Amino acid sequence: MIPAMRIACLLFDRITALDIVGPYEVLHRLPGAEMSFVARSRGAVRTDEGLGLVADQALDEVGAAEILVVPGGLGTRALTEDRALLDWIRAVHATTQWTTSVCTGSLLLGAAGLLEGREATTHWMMLEGLRRYGARPVSRRVVWSDKIVTAAGVSAGIDMALELVARVAGPGLAQAIQLGIEYDPAPPFDAGSPAKAPPAVLEAVRARAGR
Amino acid sequence: MIPAMRIACLLFDRITALDIVGPYEVLHRLPGAEMSFVARSRGAVRTDEGLGLVADQALDEVGAAEILVVPGGLGTRALTEDRALLDWIRAVHATTQWTTSVCTGSLLLGAAGLLEGREATTHWMMLEGLRRYGARPVSRRVVWSDKIVTAAGVSAGIDMALELVARVAGPGLAQAIQLGIEYDPAPPFDAGSPAKAPPAVLEAVRARAGR
């Protein structure tokens, strides 16, 4: 019998949808995967641009998981002081095999006290924000620190999840999932990191974000 | 004043979540973007693995759009005979600047009669299925044919949407969005297409899908 692989995905208002859907699309293909979407209360959360994602369980209904996925988004700003949520993250983390984040989700792991003294990453624009929580910011696509795995911004969750599948279930399954989701990326530009983007583009993005 | 860019995203049960969330995460950053999520009726649709995505509008509430996005998933199989849905796709297509699909969403465009005599693509495993609708299958990440843009499987919707932004609003914005979602892909393997995956992996994926 395949043991259950409970995968708890945190949802909240002003989440970035791709932060959670990227890992979801990969991890639900793990043998024994049991996905749960968890928010403060049951019902739909909303991304900034209005897409609703449904939380089927409230925080107090999910006490343990083999894998925890904490996504990012503008909503994380309001949550770094949310004691009930941070308690929940700590409690579930105590039960996990792997605790993961995408984008600014790592700031929630940090606020929960899980990144003290660890290397971690987040969206390139927020890297320095990790220091507040005693973490050492690393500009890398995916950062492994014991059982804590943090990914860079938004789309990096897909790469993180594939690395995680390889670790949990072997490279063959990770490759099969990559082929299944036809993840043979071909972006029309090579502008996906601050080191690669044209300076004017980098400046425009920073200016719009007020950084 | 920036003219409205109405972007209609089709939802249905057994959708592949990343098919729609990939383009969504890129396209909602277009100037004037007004996203709408549309299904047969209002309420949540469900992916195969249970994630609920909320449709805020029913088909008969959305009659026009500048951009139409038709995603794929196992649910498309039941929809290629759904006359009301195919009528809706045709009617909205008549109003669009761009009609797009991801993965097996192109089979719905085909069933609606929009791909007759055109080059188009879809998930690598379903390419030959396009012939049924008079289309010429092309194994390419993104295929442009007048105002119809079809993308390959699942994750290809991200690349398609970036190409579309470049066409609609210029390469500078496409690069800014790519940087914003930190789309600097680094999959741990190079197995994302049938030509690149190890033969044993390809065979396993085909066997599991019964192809």
B187's tokens? 């999959």
Its pTM stands at: 0.97
Cβ separation A178–B192 shorter than 8 A: yes
Q: Is A207 on the interface with B (CB under 8 A)?
A: no
Residue A103 is a catalytic residue: yes
Chain A environment of B182 (Cβ under 8 Å): 103, 123-124, 152-156, 192-193
Q: What letter represents residue B141's amino acid? A: R
Cβ-defined contact of B24 to A171 (cutoff 8 Å): no
ipTM of the complex: 0.96
Sort strands A67-70 and A33-39 into parallel, antiparallel or unpaired.
unpaired
Burial class (CB in 10 A: 0-12, 13-18, 19+), B49: middle
Q: How is residue A164 written in tokens?
A: 């995680």
Q: Tokens standing for B131?
A: 């012939």
pLDDT tens digits in sequence order for chain B, 211 residues long: 778 999 999 999 999 999 999 999 999 999 999 999 999 999 999 997 889 999 999 999 999 999 999 999 999 999 999 999 999 999 999 999 999 999 999 999 999 999 999 999 999 999 999 999 999 999 999 999 999 999 999 999 999 999 999 999 999 999 999 999 999 999 999 999 999 999 999 999 999 887 6
What is the DSSP secondary-structure string of A35-82? EEEEESSSEEEE-TT--EEEE-EEGGG----SEEEE--STTHHHHTT-
Select which of A10, A103, A108, A109 is catalytic. A103
CA dist A37 and B122 (Å) reads 29
Side-chain-side CA neighbours of B204 within 13 Å: the count stands at 15
Q: Are A197 and B169 in contact (CB under 8 A)?
A: no
pLDDT at A105 over 80: yes
Handedness of CA A69, A74, A77, A78 (dihedral sign): negative
Structure tokens at B158: 């991200």
Contact B56, A54 (CB under 8 A): no
B17-27 helix and A17-27 helix, angle to the nearest 10 degrees:
160
- Could you tell me if A99 and A149 are in contact, meaning their C-beta atoms sit under 8 angstroms apart? yes
End-to-end CA distance of chain A: 51
Residue A162, pLDDT score: 98
Contact A10, A38 (CB under 8 A): yes
